Amino acid sequence: MNSYEKRIDLVRDYLERTALDNSILDYYSGRSILVTGGAGAIGSNLIVALSILVGKSGRVIVLDNLSALKTRNPWNVTPLSNIMFVLGDVRSDIDLKRVFRENPGMVFHLAAFFANQNSIDYPETSAEVDVLGQIRLLEYSRIAGVDKFVYASSGCAIYGSYPELPLREEFISMHLTTPYQINKMTGEMYCNFYHHHYGLPIINCRFFNSYGPGEVPGQYRNVIPNFIYWAMQGRSLPITGTGEETRDFTYVLDLVQGLIKAGYYSDAVGENFNLGAGKEVRILDLVNMVNKATNNKAGINFMERRKWDTKPRLLASIEKAQRLVKYAPIVEFDEGLQRNIDWFTENWDEINLCADFPPGMSSAVRGAESICGSTK
């Protein structure tokens, strides 16, 4: 079985385990759906799930500029006959015309300039993609009369630094620490504007830290793919803080489940809600689990906390998503982590080619001489 067949199997198994209602299956069958950012960590899984749900008479149109993969080869897009890949940019009128000519009835907007440190280094591009690109996409969606516009918002963008846990949707902070957070929050506000003013049926899904098959490592990428990548090379893992910090790591297919349900249930329209695991994982435990699962003996390297990284703990309340869209995450962290490591093993050559760490490290350890320091 090649790595594409494995991904399809993984998604198909997951969909069977979640046992989606027949009404959801009927709703998606035969639809034409646009996914922006469909070559990315979450999008590359969502498009496989949607391809299965829409079936032969439907179509999944993917718009992605491949900036996350650092290549013009869309290797993270599973080649399925009902998936149409368009190499293009959400900021480009020409590219948007091209995908809207396919008459999508639904949009999942996942494309983004990822993420915090990237936006600090390139604040203008962050706003161009995540604000102006999104407005352009909302305009096209409104004119096309799509019946759902699902937006990938971010828990880390909405709740600021020291809110009470678990994070509930009614709490909002204006004290954001990166342009990414500001722009993702602005994205939600534009969705709300298009809903209020034009009646566009938008849904704001606030993701918590995603992990799982589909996410490449890199200078600006999330901690889990970077840890796996370094551990598989026998390098020590840098912790920027004490290791007591926690995150609500959410398996990517649980997020996909949440998106599919968000796109279906009419109670979700005009709403915002968290999609997380609803559980905390300590960074120190994560590091030890990754080192153990990859048989990495190089240990841990403690480093200074990054200035913008002001969140000691993150934990989502998922009650609202449970109530509105029957969201129910099912994958435990150790299972999801193993699936993530399996995906790295199966796709090592491609991952290695696009892993981008100038000058040999991630933003997490910028300024440090080496990630291969001593074990504390």
Ligand X SMILES: NC(=O)c1ccc[n+]([C@@H]2O[C@H](COP(=O)([O-])OP(=O)(O)OC[C@H]3O[C@@H](n4cnc5c(N)ncnc54)[C@H](O)[C@@H]3O)[C@@H](O)[C@H]2O)c1
Residues 98-157 that bind ligand X (CB under 6 A): 110-114, 129, 133, 152, 154
Helix residue spans in the chain (DSSP H): 3-18, 22-28, 43-54, 93-100, 116-121, 123-127, 134-144, 155-158, 179-198, 223-232, 252-264, 283-293, 319-325, 333-346, 348-354
How many residues line the site for ligand X (CB under 6 A)? Answer: 31
CB nearer to ligand X: pick between 30 and 163: 163
Residue from 41, 167, 325, 341 in contact with ligand X (CB under 6 A): 41
Does 262 interact with ligand X (rule: CB under 6 A)? no
CB nearer to ligand X: pick between 236 and 272: 272
Contact stretch for ligand X (CB under 6 A) within 50-58, 100-108, 209-217, 337-345: 209-217
Does 207 interact with ligand X (rule: CB under 6 A)? yes
Distances (CA, A) of 158 to 21, 36, 170, 280, 314: 31, 21, 10, 18, 12
CB nearer to ligand X: pick between 49 and 112: 112
CB nearer to ligand X: pick between 72 and 307: 72
Nearest-approach distance from CB 44 to ligand X, in angstroms: 8
Nearest-approach distance from CB 265 to ligand X, in angstroms: 20
Does 287 interact with ligand X (rule: CB under 6 A)? no
Q: Two tokens at 5?
A: 């067949």
CB 275 within 8 A of CB 318: yes
Compute the distance between CA of residue 156 and CA of residue 170 in angstroms, rounded to an integer: 14
CB nearer to ligand X: pick between 214 and 238: 214
Three-state SS at 30:
coil
Does 274 interact with ligand X (rule: CB under 6 A)? no
Nearest-approach distance from CB 89 to ligand X, in angstroms: 4
The residues with which 108 forms a beta bridge, in sequence order, are 35, 150
- Please, which residues have CB within 8 angstroms of residue 323's CB and are 6 or more apart in sequence? none
- Please, which residues have CB within 8 angstroms of residue 138's CB and are 6 or more apart in sequence? 149, 190, 191, 194, 200
Does 347 interact with ligand X (rule: CB under 6 A)? no
> Number of helices and strands (H, E) in the chain?
15, 13
Provide the 8-state DSSP code for 2: -
Shortest CA distance to 71 belongs to which of 373, 274, 308, 351?
Answer: 351
CB nearer to ligand X: pick between 25 and 136: 136
CB nearer to ligand X: pick between 217 and 236: 217
Residues 163-182 that bind ligand X (CB under 6 A): none
Residue from 66, 77, 202, 300 in contact with ligand X (CB under 6 A): 66
- Residues forming contacts to ligand X in the complex (CB under 6 A) are 36-37, 39-43, 63-68, 89-91, 110-114, 129, 133, 152, 154, 184, 207, 209-210, 215, 222
